[in-house]
Amino acid sequence: MVEMEKFDAVIRGAQVIDGTGSAGSLMEVAISGDRIAAIATLENAQNWLGKLEIDASDRVLAPGFIDVHTHDDNAVLATPTMPAKISQGVTTVIVGNCGISLAPIIDIDPPEPLNLLGGRDQFHFETMAEYFTAVEAAQPAINVAALVGHSTLRAGIMDNLQRTATGAEIAAMGERLAASLAAGAIGFSTGLYYKTAKAAEMAEVVALAKVLAKGGGIYTTHMRDEADHIIASLQETKATAEQADVPVVVSHHKCAQPANWGRSEETLAFIEEARGTIKMGLDAYPYAAGSTVLDPDFVRDDIRIMVTKSEAYPEAKGRDLSDIAKEWDCSLKDAASKLAPAGAIYFQIDEDDMQRILAYPPTMIGSDGLPHDEHPHPRLWGTFPRVLGHYCRDLGLFDLPTAVHKMTGLPAATFGIPDRGVIREGAFADLVVFNPDTVKDLATYENPLQQSTGIDYVLVNGTLSLMLGNLCPDRAGQVVRNA
């Protein structure tokens, strides 16, 4: 009689796309504890027995997706089931992007855009170590890796954010950054576009990025300008990475505003050339609109703007700013001021640029979803299925192994996340089973809180977290610390 080999779970009959970019193959995958224990052909897995057996015939098995660009810092604490992300097959989120992180800072009335993460009550982590302890106590369903936000450091140290930091302030910020990295943060982010950081000169950022070079980690940036001066911003980004000698990621790359539509040929050529001498990566979301705070200074009349939330006028959510301005018989800027604090979707991206950026081989997928908006940009619930369904399968922008690589192996390698983003023996069992023929995003601008279809099973660290599209009660996310 054949001796049975026992595992916690066995996934049968799937087309395994391993995250490296190589083509899929039919394989059986076995899981023990939180790791992938074995991978074999059907023939060599005859004597396997799983406590849990998942039939994945006609399905794809891929590494769980890594959402490289999120603002889930507080969401993983407030909504640890993380339905918006688990339902897309996301198993790891990188929080702290765009210069804004929930830690390390306390006692603050968060200025825009820090308030994208929550209000005063949410900012109560004096150190990154305390934040990680809270994440572990909340036990979210997904893994969490954190960047330290430049604007968070500034708001915690400086009395006035409308100037560049002094040497003493830079030193104090550098200490907090170093302590955060020692606690396990994986890098440092800036949002030089925002008022909390606009006044920072490049030297300030270089000095802080140099702390990264010592502590290890990556620099990500929402650049100073993504519109008319985008090439100057790319130059600044490259020079910063060169001077500090750190790898860099250009966040949510886009050519914003109609006057700059079509310029992605220029920007991607710049990035391609920079990649010859430095480590430069980039991420993007699969939509032709961005979303952030509704600031009167961001308002323009040549693009559509939709309100995602307003503290003063909650009923404005989901409505176009121009309709509200008409109703109030005032200018767009005045309407925005009245609505503030508020959030908005800006239809400021050209679909062709977005597709060109998405298709560029080094581009990773990041949702940039805003979990605290009441009528959020659909990217929060739809990003990953939209790339797999609409852009990969329907439009043929790239093949499926490439799409998977952009959301798994590539981000894991770029951000230095060990043993994730790939299917191999010994790696963490972060896995997603999906139907390549039906996977599809359903979230729209009008109806953004819609779960995608075609994502069948999600396992996080070996624990079943989504089954036939439904959330499971067990949550097994871990804090991913800087190795």
Which residues form the interface with Zn ion (CB under 5 A)? 98, 222
284 closest CA partner among 217, 364, 356: 364
The CB-of-267 to Zn ion minimum distance in angstroms stands at 16
Minimum CB distance to Cu ion smaller for 117 or for 206 = 117
Residue 430 to residues 28, 36, 63, 190, 426, Cα–Cα distance (Å): 15, 9, 6, 29, 11
Minimum CB distance to Zn ion smaller for 96 or for 436 = 96
Q: Which residues contact 466 (CB under 8 A, 6 or more apart)?
A: 86, 87, 89, 455, 456, 457, 458, 472
Residue with tokens 């765009």: 98
Identity of residue 331: S
Are 54 and 30 within 8 A, CB to CB?
A: no
Q: Check binding of 67 to Cu ion (CB under 5 A).
A: no
Strand partners, 460: 463
Minimum CB distance to Cu ion smaller for 95 or for 170 = 95
100 closest CA partner among 154, 181, 43: 154
218 binds, among Zn ion, Cu ion, none (CB under 5 to 8 A by kind): none
The CB-of-341 to Zn ion minimum distance in angstroms stands at 17
Q: Check binding of 153 to Cu ion (CB under 5 A).
A: no
Minimum CB distance to Zn ion smaller for 344 or for 431 = 344
Residue nearest to Cu ion (CB): 98
Q: Three-class SS of residue 254? A: coil
Other CB atoms within 10 Å distance of the CB of residue 14: 26
The CB-of-192 to Zn ion minimum distance in angstroms stands at 10
The CB-of-228 to Cu ion minimum distance in angstroms stands at 21
Q: Is 329 left (phi over 0), alpha (psi -120 to 50) or beta?
A: left
Are 156 and 103 within 8 A, CB to CB?
A: no
Q: Check binding of 368 to Cu ion (CB under 5 A).
A: yes
Stretch that binds Cu ion, among 23-31, 90-98, 355-363, 430-438 (CB under 5 A): 90-98
Q: Check binding of 97 to Cu ion (CB under 5 A).
A: yes
Minimum CB distance to Zn ion smaller for 31 or for 98 = 98
The CB-of-370 to Cu ion minimum distance in angstroms stands at 8
Minimum CB distance to Cu ion smaller for 8 or for 368 = 368
What are the tokens at 348? 């400021």
Q: CA 264, CA 249: separation in Å to the nearest integer?
A: 16
The CB-of-100 to Cu ion minimum distance in angstroms stands at 8
Q: CA 444, CA 427: separation in Å to the nearest integer?
A: 35
Q: Which residues contact 376 (CB under 8 A, 6 or more apart)?
A: 291, 308, 369, 370, 448, 449
The CB-of-19 to Zn ion minimum distance in angstroms stands at 26
Q: CA 350, CA 379: separation in Å to the nearest integer?
A: 16
Are 455 and 87 within 8 A, CB to CB?
A: yes
The CB-of-121 to Zn ion minimum distance in angstroms stands at 24
- How are beta strands 48-55 and 463-467 bridged, if at all? unpaired
244 binds, among Zn ion, Cu ion, none (CB under 5 to 8 A by kind): none
Minimum CB distance to Cu ion smaller for 56 or for 98 = 98
The CB-of-113 to Zn ion minimum distance in angstroms stands at 8
Minimum CB distance to Zn ion smaller for 38 or for 284 = 284
The CB-of-352 to Cu ion minimum distance in angstroms stands at 23
Q: CA 381, CA 385: separation in Å to the nearest integer?
A: 9
How many chain residues bind Cu ion (CB under 5 A)? 3
What are the tokens at 135? 């994440």
Minimum CB distance to Cu ion smaller for 16 or for 354 = 354
Q: Check binding of 283 to Cu ion (CB under 5 A).
A: no
Residue with tokens 């897995």: 45
Fill in the per-residue mask, 310 to 349: x = in contact with Cu ion (CB under 5 A), - = not in contact: ----------------------------------------
Stretch that binds Cu ion, among 37-45, 94-102, 269-277, 300-308 (CB under 5 A): 94-102
Burial grade of 381 (CB within 10 A; 0-12, 13-18, 19 or more):
buried
Minimum CB distance to Cu ion smaller for 98 or for 197 = 98
The CB-of-251 to Zn ion minimum distance in angstroms stands at 5
Minimum CB distance to Zn ion smaller for 60 or for 114 = 114
Angle between helix 150-157 and 167-183 (nearest 10): 130
Q: Check binding of 98 to Cu ion (CB under 5 A).
A: yes
Stretch that binds Cu ion, among 79-87, 142-150, 367-375, 382-390 (CB under 5 A): 367-375
Q: Check binding of 358 to Cu ion (CB under 5 A).
A: no
Q: CA 84, CA 142: separation in Å to the nearest integer?
A: 11
Residue ranges that bind Cu ion, judged by CB under 5 A: 97-98, 368
